[in-house]
Amino acid sequence: MSVDQRIIVPLDVPSASAALALVEALPQVSFWKMGLELFVSAGPALIEALRARQKRVFLDLKFHDIPNTMAGACAAAGRYGIDLMTVHTAAGKEAMAAAQAAAIAGAAAAGVDPPTVLGVTLLTSIASNVLAEELKIPLGSTNYVLQMARLAQDSGLSGAVCSPQEAGQLRRFLPADFVLVCPGVRPAWTSSQDQRRTLTPLQALQAGATYLVIGRPITAAANPAAAFERICEECSAAIAP
């Protein structure tokens, strides 16, 4: 898989028209992430529009509820023909297993390929001190993320969302085909902004990330297309065989 196919760009915009304008402005981007704000605003119709343009879709809604509710939501999402989707690992093993089975069933009912269901381990905006002081979780962030990723695997999920700083450790303990999606990736030439546990794109790939989620360094750049190409070139030059 080439570097450009491993970069997912978030559609962090408030409307379908703004999202499609961004997609048209960056034709070289093949994989787009749709989060809560845009899905609530634009709904499944935008997913159809992206698929009609031959784009891959990461539906990042982070479902977190009781098992029956998560199953219903994931069955509905599975029918969209998306590539990746997220649930919170903190919902527990029963809920994740139900989500996985429902996503597969929903896709089968719609005659589309099932999405890869990812378990969100720990939001990249949460640092170890927040985990300890506010959430009262005694594990450090690295060990907590490993625990939750293992729980996702034990629940039947095929991947997890983690910060790039945890990708290396997860790769040592999880199967090679376990998908790791890393947000909070920032090139050295841009600000980390509200992300706390970051690496550069090259460092994240070298650590074992399958996909990188890179937003504002591309979409807020003076020339988004040039920023995307610069990231691809920096990574390709170093990871080429």
Catalytic residues: 62
Pairwise CA distance, residues 88 & 137, whole Å: 16
- Label residue 57 exposed, middle or buried (CB < 10 Å: 0-12, 13-18, 19+): buried
Pairwise CA distance, residues 79 & 127, whole Å: 35
Nearest to 152 by CA among 124, 128, 181: 181
Gyration radius from the chain CA atoms: 17
